[in-house]
Amino acid sequence: MSTLHRALRNRLTVAGAAVVMLLFLVAVLAPEISPYDPAEIDAAEVLMPPSTAHLLGTDGLGRDVLSRMIYGSRVSLLVGFVSVGIAVLIGVPLGAVAGYFGGIVDTVIMRLVDIMLCFPSFFLILAVIAVLEQSIWNIMIVIGVTSWMGVCRLVRAEFLSLRERDFMVAARGLGQSPWKIIFFHGLPNAMAPVFVAVILGVASAILVESSLSFLGIGVPPPAPSWGNILTEGKATIEVAWWMSVYPGMAILLTVLGYNLLGEGLRDVLDPRLREER
């Protein structure tokens, strides 16, 4: 049975993929499907409840909440994929080198990982963001730089089991350089768990960005973000419940979708889990 066939038969994978694909389409087609300009202010329609004119109501400046949420999905995708990409670029090479060479190289890299893991990630991000200029690019970089340790440990564990396999031993016997063995023989066989970790990491990055924006140190206004929409709704929750409910539901469904997709792919790609089932 092919990997694609197993994925299509896995309900978690299909459900998660449907949510992720929907979010992707909404972000890509935002200018076409958004009913209003997300920055358009209308003083005559401040805090209007959901209606046919504004399906999810308006905020304290009369801006359409649905339009801001649609454009906010772009921020979520950008932060998720760029920050996880940075984490992968750091964690994969370090984990591969640590697992392949072992010895003092492994010890030094793993101690660096241990030091990074000693700091609570969210509070470390808060401290760095408070010092840097508030911008979406700084947020993505900081999230990526503080979340590579899990990927590094995954890749290291894979290389510890791969380096004594016949194809790796044969490559060394043929006189190939360690770097060629790592990147052309080892990494292609170690990326399955990393792929799952990347998908789960996107969900975590989106949640962190939403939390930072909710605290007022994330994506700077007037750029729309689900987190800063929630912040605006906090002050008016008694009279404008829709500003808190709908962005919260969007964050919940997005994170749930990525987690379902990641867990489903883990079941599909890990042969040990398939044998247990």
Q: Which of 71-75, 98-102, 129-133, 203-207 has the lowest mean pLDDT?
A: 129-133
- pLDDT for 270: 62
For range 97-101, the mean pLDDT: 91
- pLDDT for 108: 94
For the chain, give the mean pLDDT.
Answer: 86
For range 95-113, the mean pLDDT: 92
Per residue in 239-277, pLDDT tens?
Answer: 889 988 999 999 999 999 999 888 888 777 765 544 444
**CB–CB of 113/121 below 8 Å?**
no
- pLDDT for 76: 86
Could you give the domains of the chain?
Answer: 3-276 (1.10.3720.10)
Q: Phi/psi of residue 94, each to 5°?
A: -65, -45
Residue 189 has what DSSP assignment? G
For range 178-201, the mean pLDDT: 86
**CB–CB of 117/91 below 8 Å?**
no
Joined tokens for residue 181: 């063995």
Q: Left (φ > 0), alpha (ψ -120 to 50) or beta: where does 3 sit?
A: alpha
- pLDDT for 65: 92
Measure the CA–CA gap between 227 and 210, rounded to whole angstroms.
Answer: 4
Q: Left (φ > 0), alpha (ψ -120 to 50) or beta: where does 216 sit?
A: left
For range 228-238, the mean pLDDT: 85
For range 193-217, the mean pLDDT: 87
Per residue in 138-153, pLDDT tens?
Answer: 888 888 988 899 999 9
Joined tokens for residue 183: 């990147």
CA gyration radius, the chain: 22
Joined tokens for residue 200: 């789960």
- pLDDT for 223: 82
